[in-house]
Chains A and B, each alone.
Chain A
Amino acid sequence: MNVTRREALKRVGAAGAVLGASAATAKLFFDEGGIDLKKSTGARQTRDYRVEDDGGQVDLSIARGDKDAAALTRKAIEALGGMGRFISRGDVVAVKPNIGWDRAPIHAANTNPEVVAEVVRLAYDAGAKTVVVTDASCNEPNRCFKRSGIWNAAYEAGAEVIIPVENRFRTLRMKGEVLDEWPVYTPLLNADKVINVPVAKHHNLATYTGAMKNWYGVLGGRRNRLHQNIDVSVADLATFMQPTLTVLDAVRVLMRNGPQGGNVADAKDLHVVAASIDQVAIDAFGCTLIGKTADEIPYLKMGLERGLGTTDWQSLRTREV
């Protein structure tokens, strides 16, 4: 049985087409191989949410004495020039409290819910379009948000409270000294203004934590590695995140067994709220509340050296109310 010329050409043509397509695919998707790790190059990534300093104003304000946490917060922010100095009409504002632990307000491991709620209200009063309150917790987030009281307090103040969901973390190259490629929590970054609302407390490894260390909550992934070089990683994070405003809650302060505490006796009522545009200075002030000075906290020194702010907070335009 002879094959016709037409049939023979068809078969040879089909075989050739398959071979050609395979070769083209292999060429197009050719992989050189090799195990070179990609080095990060170029400038450090930063997120700067600061507003321009119009001069002649206060840089750090400290409110004391009032038993009402919301009133303290209001006074501190007013002394700094009011929320209107920082928030413009129509802004999307991200508020970052510490909601790390499944602990009640009395344990002082998370930011005081009344302080958070007051910041939310002031931001709305200043014309914010949306205020988002969120954090990437250490313990199971539903329990942390609920037990801390922040979920309800912020919600009642009108905030959009976001529970951290896995797919909201996206990998980013920060190109810091120890922090290079990390998953970051996008709701805290995708905003016009960012207000850091940390709680001042003792920390067994870093001694004291407040504003700068609060940025741990921007990271996802296995944060546990950061402790090997906690000071540099805190400095890296503070370099990455430059907030519009920092409001430090020291209404009730965990004096020992930080950061988690758990014993009511470990915390002490101080009735202090501070606010600043300088996250290093506010920590330099904050550490004095647990009996430390800025020299004893290495990451504050690094912040100073990197030009993030000053540890000599008394030299700033300070107002106490």
Chain B
Amino acid sequence: MLQRVVSAFKRRLGVGKPRPGSGLPARPVIRTLVWLRRASQVGFLGLFLYLLVETAFRGSISKQTFDLDHKVEGFLLADPFVAAMTFLSTKTVYKDLFWSLGVVALTVAVGRVFCGWICPFGTLHHFFAWIFPSRYVKGGRRVEQNKTHPVRQSIKYYLMIAFLLAALAGSAIGGLFDPICVAVRAIGLGVIPALQYAATRGSDVAYESGSPGLQRTTDDANVLLSQYVWSEKQFYFHQTWLIVTLLVAILFLNRFVPRFWCRVLCPLGAFLGVLSRFALVGMEKDHKKCTDCNLCLVHCQGADSPQGGVKWQQDECHMCMNCESACPEDVIKFRFLPSKVSTQPKVDLARRTTLASAAAGVIAVPAMRIADVIDANYDHRVIRPPGSVEEREFLERCIRCAECMKVCPDNALHPAWFEAGVEGMWTPILIPRIGYCQHSCVLCGQVCPTGAIQKITEKQKLGLGQKPISIGTAFFDQGRCLPWSMGTPCIVCEEFCPTSPKAIWVEPVEVPKRSATPGPDGEEPPMESVRVQRPHVDPSLCIGCGACENVCPVQDKPAVYVTSIGETRSKENIILLENTSYTQEG
């Protein structure tokens, strides 16, 4: 492994082996650009991971507000596929999604530079394809894999078409396949919490060892990691095994087909591929000089036919510049306003498959919705984050990017499994048993790139001078509640209820309670009388934050639980008649 890295470096630096064939060196500008590209890839991957880690509330001395320091959702805001989907579904461009015009402009100027130079997910694939190739993608086999495979590589276009049409029909479900969403979801909800888990277990082992030096070192390391990389407590995410498994699987495929994701599946890549036909920079080839040495193909990222004798597939090219850098015969030249003689700029798609994909996208939406999850039999567990828009519009906007779940400081938001239907998979729901909605926190809306969760203020959420934002209502299970059914004092729920006046109020009562020990001669245990406070919910004050459910001591199935009813965003999913009237301000 180390040898391979060293020899790879030597090769790249041009030391060691002489260039084959005529041995003509690549232009200095190209060699510089290849190194710039690598720096850019490392830099943007680093930036992406930094912003992902910073997608969390960390207090500090210097901070005056409870906002985040950075625009942590920046990569999503710059994502034109996200902008296009939500534009088609809502017919609006939400706020900072304007940023995506930057990537559109870049693509129109210089092609899919985003894929080759910027995309953090693409960089991960680039890295894994380089470092872990199987024996089936080495030498001649790698050359074969890196030739254009038109059928395989057109799948991403059909996916893109289907997703855009599904968006037009009212569902931003394409977010499931957006590369930035995939990366945030899998790394943010899977990889980072798993690393934290492993680090904590490591610290436990060090603690068991009993060596004070080792204990102190691991403890201090863990504290630093907890404060700067992950969080004070271990985060858990609902059913993330599939999210992580898919990430591992898709990275693993690089062993057999380099950059399988980018070439075959990525709808953002397809979107940029369509735009790249307008690019002002492109490739010219001098076919006569080509000796079919295939060095360009060995290093090709996009499988875009850089070799002589065939046309260059502009829409597939990531503009990595490897081909020109590798070419020892002066065949390949990237230049401004090139002759397009040897270029195939248009995406080559089969008309029938295109139409079928479009139809599938449109039909998928009603097909998913008749599965009784929105209009009928709405699931009580679909507790949406505070500031969420009404469910239908929510599905038009939510791209399942998991930013809200990553930022939620109490680990309250989770990717839905099938609670919100098959369409709502990996959209955010609140699971109070794991974490509750912190009363004054509005971070989920702040990081939502598409407005599925609106940017609300602390004042709006708390309801200062207005009605507070409610996401559900709490209910008591009197058969399980300690004061209600066991004559035992408790009211932790009331203590944690954050509203003022409290939505949970208590009724002091004297209740009979049988003593646990039998009387003399085995008589029935005597009766006693105990004073307890029985909790009640006032549905007009409850905001559904879930603090009560979270802290209820009835561990396995809490005696107080929150369901989505009474949520501010809905006009149907409410209990109280007075809340259906908007003529009065609360």
A residues near B (Cβ < 8 Å) are 102, 138-143, 145-147, 151-152, 155, 163-168, 170, 203-205, 222, 224-225, 227-230, 257, 259-263, 266
Interface-located stretch among B73-81, B513-521, B551-559? B551-559
Q: Known contacts being A140-B409, A164-B232, A257-B500, is A204 close to B494, with CB within 8 Å? A: yes
Q: Can you name 16 A-B pairs with beta carbons within 8 Å?
A: A139-B438, A140-B410, A146-B63, A163-B227, A165-B222, A165-B232, A166-B226, A166-B232, A166-B234, A167-B222, A204-B491, A204-B495, A224-B551, A227-B491, A260-B495, A262-B499
Question: Closest approach, in angstroms, between the C-beta of B444 and any C-beta of chain A?
Answer: 13
B207 at the interface (CB under 8 A from A): yes
Q: Known contacts being A139-B438, A140-B57, A146-B63, is A167 close to B219, with CB within 8 Å? A: yes
Interface size on B, residues (CB 8 A): 45
Q: Known contacts being A147-B440, A227-B492, A257-B502, is A205 close to B533, with CB within 8 Å? A: yes
B496 at the interface (CB under 8 A from A): yes
Specify the chain A residue showing the minimal Cβ separation from B56. A142
Contact bitstring B463-507, A, C-beta under 8 A = 1, else 0: 000000000000000000010000011111011111111100010
Residue contact A167 to B223, C-beta cutoff 8 Å: yes
Question: Closest approach, in angstroms, between the C-beta of B541 and any C-beta of chain A?
Answer: 12
Question: Closest approach, in angstroms, between the C-beta of A320 and any C-beta of chain B?
Answer: 33
Specify the chain A residue showing the minimal Cβ separation from B218. A167
Specify the chain B residue showing the minimal Cβ separation from A186. B219
Residue contact B226 to A167, C-beta cutoff 8 Å: yes
Residue contact B223 to A225, C-beta cutoff 8 Å: no
Specify the chain B residue showing the minimal Cβ separation from A138. B496
B240 at the interface (CB under 8 A from A): no
B577 at the interface (CB under 8 A from A): no
In the complex, A320→B107 CA distance in Å? 77
Q: List chain B residues, Cβ under 8 A from A170.
A: 207
Question: Closest approach, in angstroms, between the C-beta of A215 and any C-beta of chain B?
Answer: 17
Q: How many A-B residue pairs have CB under 8 A?
A: 105
Contact of A165 among B63, B227, B494, B555 (CB under 8 A): B227
Q: List chain A residues, Cβ under 8 A from B59.
A: 142-143, 145-146, 151, 163
Contact of B233 among A166, A262, A263 (CB under 8 A): A166
Q: List chain A residues, Cβ under 8 A from B563.
A: none
Residue contact A224 to B552, C-beta cutoff 8 Å: yes
Q: List chain B residues, Cβ under 8 A from A261.
A: 500
Residue contact B498 to A142, C-beta cutoff 8 Å: no
Residue contact A227 to B438, C-beta cutoff 8 Å: no
Q: List the 5 closest pairs (A to B, CB-CB), nearest first.
A: A262-B500, A142-B59, A263-B500, A146-B59, A224-B553
Q: A140-B409, A147-B440, A165-B222 are in contact. List 8 more A-B contacts (CB 8 A).
A: A142-B57, A143-B57, A143-B66, A146-B66, A165-B223, A204-B491, A204-B506, A262-B499
Q: List chain A residues, Cβ under 8 A from B441.
A: 140, 143
Q: List chain B residues, Cβ under 8 A from A141.
A: 232
Question: Closest approach, in angstroms, between the C-beta of A307 and any C-beta of chain B?
Answer: 26
B367 at the interface (CB under 8 A from A): no
Residue contact B553 to A228, C-beta cutoff 8 Å: yes
B203 at the interface (CB under 8 A from A): yes
Q: List chain A residues, Cβ under 8 A from B207.
A: 170
Residue contact A143 to B438, C-beta cutoff 8 Å: yes
B147 at the interface (CB under 8 A from A): no
Residue contact B222 to A230, C-beta cutoff 8 Å: no
Specify the chain B residue showing the minimal Cβ separation from A143. B438
B61 at the interface (CB under 8 A from A): yes
In the complex, A163→B409 CA distance in Å? 14
B58 at the interface (CB under 8 A from A): yes
Q: List chain B residues, Cβ under 8 A from A145.
A: 59
In the complex, A102→B436 CA distance in Å? 13
Question: Closest approach, in angstroms, between the C-beta of B354 and any C-beta of chain A?
Answer: 49
Question: Closest approach, in angstroms, between the C-beta of A159 and any C-beta of chain B?
Answer: 11
Residue contact B226 to A142, C-beta cutoff 8 Å: no
In the complex, A298→B226 CA distance in Å? 39
Q: List chain B residues, Cβ under 8 A from A146.
A: 59, 63, 66
In the complex, A238→B66 CA distance in Å? 35
In the complex, A31→B460 CA distance in Å? 59
B579 at the interface (CB under 8 A from A): no
Contact of B61 among A155, A225, A257, A263 (CB under 8 A): A155
B439 at the interface (CB under 8 A from A): yes
Q: List chain A residues, Cβ under 8 A from B555.
A: 222
Contact of B439 among A102, A152, A166, A205 (CB under 8 A): A102
Contact bitstring B425-469, A, C-beta under 8 A = 1, else 0: 000000000000011110000000000000000000000000000
Q: List chain A residues, Cβ under 8 A from B440.
A: 102, 143, 147
Q: List chain B residues, Cβ under 8 A from A266.
A: 500
Residue contact B553 to A225, C-beta cutoff 8 Å: yes
Specify the chain B residue showing the minimal Cβ separation from A229. B489
B200 at the interface (CB under 8 A from A): yes
Which of B59, B63, B440, B552 has the most CB atoms of chain A within a 10 A radius of its CB? Answer: B59
Question: Closest approach, in angstroms, between the C-beta of B66 and any C-beta of chain A?
Answer: 7
Specify the chain A residue showing the minimal Cβ separation from B203. A167
Specify the chain A residue showing the minimal Cβ separation from B490. A227
In the complex, A262→B489 CA distance in Å? 23
Residue contact B489 to A227, C-beta cutoff 8 Å: yes
Residue contact B533 to A204, C-beta cutoff 8 Å: yes
In the complex, A141→B506 CA distance in Å? 27
In the complex, A262→B494 CA distance in Å? 13
Specify the chain B residue showing the minimal Cβ separation from A147. B440
Residue contact B58 to A142, C-beta cutoff 8 Å: yes
Q: List chain A residues, Cβ under 8 A from B200.
A: 166-167
In the complex, A259→B207 CA distance in Å? 35
Specify the chain A residue showing the minimal Cβ separation from B202. A167
Q: List chain B residues, Cβ under 8 A from A260.
A: 495-498
Contact of B438 among A140, A164, A166, A257 (CB under 8 A): A140
In the complex, A124→B500 CA distance in Å? 39
In the complex, A34→B438 CA distance in Å? 43
Residue contact A152 to B501, C-beta cutoff 8 Å: no
Question: Closest approach, in angstroms, between the C-beta of B409 and any C-beta of chain A?
Answer: 5
Specify the chain B residue showing the minimal Cβ separation from A258. B495
Contact bitstring B41-78, A, C-beta under 8 A = 1, else 0: 00000000000000001110101001000000000000
